Structure 1
């Protein structure tokens, strides 16, 4: 495992998932607040990253502590990668040091290409990655809809019935896994096995089954909108919207979103958000559903020799 070449006084070690999660979440949330004024990453999201198939926390993660012992930065790599540096420790070369460690570890693994999602408004991170040979590929957008007014629920499309997700129901879990992985086969790099997928969605502590409508045709699951609760934000969040390719362009996705928006407003939330990116071709769908772009990120990639 490569060693990170850090500024004087900083030390690094791998993450201990059992002990380091609270401090890690605090670091990530601090970075989010510095950039956007709000924190959206819950502990479940970090657990899901550390449980990625193929990621070994002992070799593929790094925590950086400052001379006073406080957590200053972290990074992970497993085909995709990410890193955060505490605002109080920026401008000292930690970001560049972590990026060098990421690339060294990726080459050691035999990774052909690295990908990282970077907020376009984080100009320093964008400049750093560009300087190290990363190039933009696809664009991601965070969209939001205000829920100040009541959300009407029109009739479902012809032949479609809708109900909410049954929490902890293995049948709903397995059917939703098949549907979403089949729907995203067109653009995702690899299919997720059930356990990895579930850790990001239906087995996540913040999964909101009562805000997650499912669409059926003759008893077959053909559409799903899987929502999360984002504590302390006043917002709902849609993790996944998927419609079987044979049932697209019938208004199912938009109808499912209306159900989620309705449930979020009933829960007293002021808005609902979701991410999409240019490879899915779904931006127009969300704009027509009344959502607007809040901000954007870019997937930057680098081929490794």
Structure 2
């Protein structure tokens, strides 16, 4: 089956991406994030982890778009999920629409029943484009922040709970805990290697700011943190508590512990993402976090084309 190629406006050319392009892709993503949020919210580790997604074939599932001068001005990848970024200076020329159509076509040819795309709620042009292409809202996501002008107070641990930072060798147990906790809402369990590329093996991973909770020697909770190079904030990437230990204040304890550790490292605010499927928003608001900005995950149902 021939590889689908996006139908680009005149003056642009497309090619597949490779892991060697991670630096250039990050530069593009950073420009898009500065335009949308006023700050960079990605790092090269996150970009590189895309190429480790199980089933993703860069030659057919990724696209880089260059202008006449050879500058990278847009990119897209699709593997059930899809991400599309267009440089702010090249928006309004049809690149986003071309890449969105390409992503849907590629996902359909790969046999996917649907494809999802996350868009900042403030990007009204992108939201409108998705809706005109048949995408419908699936879940809402929020970036939350916790301001720390003073050192956060850490509550007393519940009876029988001890807390220590993440250590070398904790990865497999933490991975199991996270996947078990996320089974309630995630579509598939991430294998260890994929999870580790996003978390424990990522250059930005901050084990000293990643507290783990134990009960009778068994891991029951984790707050896994990142120190992103261009962020002034600390960032908590994943929070998980074993189901039979929920409702005891363990998540609140781990969050406060991570906040304090980041404060002692010189950070004066801390962020994390959550979405409506997790049901955790109220917990984070009770801890004292506030919403910085929001995004919506859209989904489009696909019909697999005839061979």
Task: Give the TM-score category using the shorter length.
Answer: over 0.9
CA distance in 1, matches of 2:143, 2:26: 21
Instruction: Report the equivalent of 2:284.
Output: 286
1:260 corresponds to: 258
Secondary structure of the corresponding residue to residue 227 of structure 2: strand
Q: Please identify runs of 4+ aligned residues in structure 1 that moved more than 6 A.
A: none
Matched, 1:251 2:249: yes
**Number of positions where the alignment pairs a residue of Structure 1 with one of Structure 2:** 301
Cα distance in 2, alignment partners of residues 207 and 233 from structure 1: 13
Q: TM-score, normalised by structure 2?
A: 0.97
Residue number in structure 2 paired with 1:7: 9
SS in 2 for 1:192: coil
1:8-87 maps to which residues of 2 (within 5 A)? 8-18=10-20, 20-87=21-88
Task: Give per-residue Cα distances to partners, 1:42-72, cap 9 Å, x unaligned.
Answer: 0000111111111111110000000111001
User: Where does residue 133 of structure 1 map in the other structure?
Assistant: 134
**Aligned equivalents of 1:232, 1:199: Cα separation in 2:** 20
| 1:65-98 Cα shifts (integer Å, max 9, x gaps) | 0011100100000000010000111110000000
1:163 and 2:161 are equivalent in the alignment:
no
Which range moved further: 147-156 or 205-214? 147-156
- TM, length-normalised to structure 1: 0.98
- Give 1:225's match in structure 2, choosing from 223, 226, 247: 223
Gaps spanning 5+ residues in structure 2: where?
A: none
Deviation at 1:232, TM superposition (A): 2.6
In structure 2, how many angstroms separate the alpha carbons of the residues matched to 1:16 and 1:232?
Answer: 24
| Aligned partners of 2:62 and 2:78 also within 8 Å | yes
Aligned equivalent of 2:124: 123
Distance 1:159 1:80 in 2: 41
- Aligned-partner Cα distance in 2 for 1:25–1:140: 22
> Distance in 2 between the 1:161 and 1:70 partners?
52
Secondary structure of the structure 2 residue equivalent to 1:82? strand
Unpaired runs of 5+ residues, structure 1, are none
RMSD: 0.7
The structural deviation recorded for 1:225 is 0.1
In the TM superposition, residue 40 of structure 1 has moved relative to its aligned partner by: 1.4
